[in-house]
Amino acid sequence: MARSQNSFIKNQKAQKKKKKRQEKLQKKIDKKDQETSGKLDDMIAYVDEFGNILDEPPEEPKTKKEDKKSD
């Protein structure tokens, strides 16, 4: 009786492993089929002075020299 249970467990493990392999392959195919723009502008991220990630470049802070010239 122990022998039949061992073979049943082995079959279950094999089926589980096969299913996991198929899911992984499907994810790989889905990821490959996704369209990407590939443009450099889409891949660039900017970091502001507080460490936040932004899509657009942050505004340049005014320096003291620029403030004196505008007054």
Which residues, other chains included, contact 57 with Cβ-Cβ below 8 Å and sequence gap of 6+?
Answer: 46
What is the rounded average pLDDT of the residues 28-47? 86
Q: Is the pLDDT of residue 1 over 60?
A: no
3/27: higher pLDDT = 27
- With CA atoms as reference, report the closest residue to 56 among 42, 38, 69, 67: 42
The percent of residues in the chain predicted with pLDDT above 90, rounded, is: 41
- Report yes or no: 34 and 27 within 8 Å, Cβ to Cβ: no
Phi, psi of 57, rounded to the nearest 5 degrees:
-65, 140
Sign of CA dihedral 13, 16, 22, 24: negative
65/30: higher pLDDT = 30
- Report yes or no: 45 and 55 within 8 Å, Cβ to Cβ: yes
Q: Is the pLDDT of residue 64 over 70?
A: no
Global confidence as pTM = 0.48
